[in-house]
Structure 1
Amino acid sequence: MSQRGFDLTQLRTFVAVAESGSVSAGAERVFLSQSSVSEQLKKLEERAGQPLFVRSKQGVSATPAGSRLLDHARRILAMSEAAFEDLQGRSLDGELRIAITDYYRPHDIARILKTFCEQHPRLKLHVTVLPSSMIDSKADDDTSFDIGLSLRLVTGQPRAASKRSGAASTVVRREKLLWVCAADAAPRPAAPYQLVLLPSSCQLQRFVVKLLDEHKVPYLISHSASGVAGLQLALKAGLGISCLNESSIGGGVVACATGIGLPALPAVEFHLLPGRLGESEHVSNARNALMRLFA
């Protein structure tokens, strides 16, 4: 009897490539060489009996069959992970409170959290979106949330340790920070820039204003949004420019051209806050599981 079904390793590689948009980026995520990834994808397509990717110089994109398999693959991998965790005695149940900055992969975060819930079906999840400054300030307050994920600028300074646990946060992702604008409304150099910003409670927006002031770049604040989603809409509408990390740039918004007088920007990192002293094993196990997904 011929073998039916798919190989989990090939599915994991397939998902990594599909989500990252290129073989090279996918290879980094699964810690394999590009040639090994290409070989796995070839075998998976042979098993599926049809192409799963359209390949171009810009990377890869899923075919209709690839998109259908991607949905199945995510569920299969989540169920496999859930079964393993259960047999290892690490299956999660009860309730868990997570605080997440809205700069973190806004187009993917719902899928990531859905995968987490599928891996731990007995867990009741409560998610709150908060400014990073608020997440950091409440890091040692166990009445606010159990696990926090915040954004920080890469300044070269050592990461601060938690006041209670003494441990430093864990970097799960690093991204470029870019000046962005509407795809059809590129700003011109030497004119006062129209800025689209979040409230001053956002550390990233405070940094932008300070940076422009230091470089004596003329600007006017044309629009103030309450969150990243509103910021994206204002940018898409052509109301001004702002800065966003790569994964939060939405459709109709592009990186501004270089050489128009805007200062260079640092990178940003997403930090998973450390556990508190006396933290339950339940929360520690959840943090470890989330760390793999957030990365």
Structure 2
Amino acid sequence: MPSHFDLDCLRSFVAAQDLGGFNRAAEVLNRSQSAVSQQLRKLEEQAGQPLTRRDGRQLVLTPAGDTVLAYARRLLALNDEAMAALGNYALAGQVRFGVVGDLAESWLPAMLASFQRAHPQIVLEVCVDRASALFEALDRGALDLVLTFGGDGRIDAMPWRALPQRWLGAVGGTFTPDERVELAVLPSPCRFRKAAIDQLEAAGIPWRIAFTGHSVAALWAAVRAGLGVTFRAVDDMPQGIAAWDEPLSVPQALPISVNLHDGGRPADAAIDHLRGILLELKD
């Protein structure tokens, strides 16, 4: 008996079982029916016993055929995984990626780390900043891709997600009627700082800036410690922070759009691959 199975024969064998016959397998694999039948005979020679038997007009698997089919799926999956891994090493280049702090504090770091492990030849440079700074860097060619709030009017905007905007505070807290709202915010200009103040002003609710942080991480630390509440877009809720019901007389805000931008420039394979992964994750 041969010491190994032919992977092409195994692939035809699996295709025939999945597609309901060797005729259909031959069409999908772009081979003649006789070639696929010959591969089955070769596979039976390698197995040293029949893998199918006649049952009326149909070919059904023998017990040995069932066993070979199960192992064939595993062998082909491992082969395809190995080929894909080698393809990843062939993908090289540099990607300069910009992202706003709110998204950089959620699931995105793990996804980017996974991308770089899968494509070790790609140099990944990540910049975390405000939307205005990211757009400026993108337009002068210092960044290749930007994931940020707004930018709906730009011709390079690729819709990614619409995130809810909520009031966020320490877990277990709530707004108290007739009490001044203590705000934790980022420095101006900041769309969420302005939105929070505009909502409170429109409802006639007193407020003051109790904490100003220079990063989203600092902002979350202040909110978690109970130094103030903040108004932000919600992706993954930070630990120790909860969405509060809106202050009295303040309606719930509409979701805000998040777009992916490439500056409208042609992209190389590395940039295009990361862009494709991000767009696949938009839902």
* 2:84 matches 1:83: yes
SS at match of 2:210: strand
Contact 2:164 2:255 in 1 (8 A): yes
SS at match of 1:138: helix
CA distance in 2, matches of 1:80, 1:203: 45
What is the TM-score of this pair, normalised by structure 1? Answer: 0.61
Relative to structure 1, the CA distance from residue 290 to residue 120 in structure 2 (aligned partners, 3 Å threshold; closer, same or farther) is: farther
- 1:110 aligned residue: 109
Deviation at 1:80, TM superposition (A): 4.7
CA distance in 1, matches of 2:282, 2:194: 26
- 1:243 aligned residue: 231
Q: Deviations over 1:76-95 (max 9, x none)?
A: 9xx959817928xx953122
Letter matched to residue 289 of structure 1: I
Deviation at 1:120, TM superposition (A): 1.5
Relative to structure 1, the CA distance from residue 278 to residue 233 in structure 2 (aligned partners, 3 Å threshold; closer, same or farther) is: same
CA distance in 2, matches of 1:82, 1:92: 13
Contact 2:186 2:215 in 1 (8 A): yes
Unpaired runs of 5+ residues, structure 2, are 1-76
Relative to structure 1, the CA distance from residue 81 to residue 141 in structure 2 (aligned partners, 3 Å threshold; closer, same or farther) is: farther
Choose which of 262, 269, 290 in structure 1 pairs with 2:250: 262
Deviation at 1:196, TM superposition (A): 0.6
Relative to structure 1, the CA distance from residue 285 to residue 255 in structure 2 (aligned partners, 3 Å threshold; closer, same or farther) is: closer
Contact 1:103 1:248 in 2 (8 A): no
- 1:149 aligned residue: 147
* 2:203 matches 1:210: no
- 1:20 aligned residue: none
- 2:186 aligned residue: 198
Aligned positions of 1:43-58 closer than 5 A: none
Letter matched to residue 202 of structure 2: E
Deviation at 1:257, TM superposition (A): 2.7
Q: Deviations over 1:130-152 (max 9, x none)?
A: 1112223333211x211111113
Relative to structure 1, the CA distance from residue 100 to residue 85 in structure 2 (aligned partners, 3 Å threshold; closer, same or farther) is: farther
What is the TM-score of this pair, normalised by structure 2? Answer: 0.64
Letter matched to residue 143 of structure 2: F
Which structure has the larger Rg? 2
Deviation at 1:278, TM superposition (A): 4.2
Letter matched to residue 146 of structure 1: D
Deviation at 1:226, TM superposition (A): 1.1
Deviation at 1:272, TM superposition (A): 0.4
CA distance in 1, matches of 2:250, 2:177: 8
Q: Deviations over 1:104-155 (max 9, x none)?
A: 162312211112113322111111101112223333211x2111111139xx
Relative to structure 1, the CA distance from residue 234 to residue 168 in structure 2 (aligned partners, 3 Å threshold; closer, same or farther) is: same
Choose which of 261, 271, 280 in structure 1 pairs with 2:259: 271
* 2:173 matches 1:179: no
Relative to structure 1, the CA distance from residue 200 to residue 114 in structure 2 (aligned partners, 3 Å threshold; closer, same or farther) is: same
Letter matched to residue 149 of structure 2: L
SS at match of 1:104: helix
Q: How many residues align?
A: 205
CA distance in 1, matches of 2:131, 2:202: 24
Deviation at 1:286, TM superposition (A): 3.2
SS at match of 2:87: helix
CA distance in 1, matches of 2:227, 2:192: 19
Contact 1:190 1:260 in 2 (8 A): no
Task: Select between 211-220 and 172-181 the one with higher mean Cα deviation.
Answer: 211-220
Contact 1:131 1:201 in 2 (8 A): no
What percentage of aligned pairs have identical amino acids?
A: 21
Contact 2:138 2:146 in 1 (8 A): yes
CA distance in 2, matches of 1:121, 1:247: 28
Contact 1:112 1:293 in 2 (8 A): no
Letter matched to residue 86 of structure 1: G
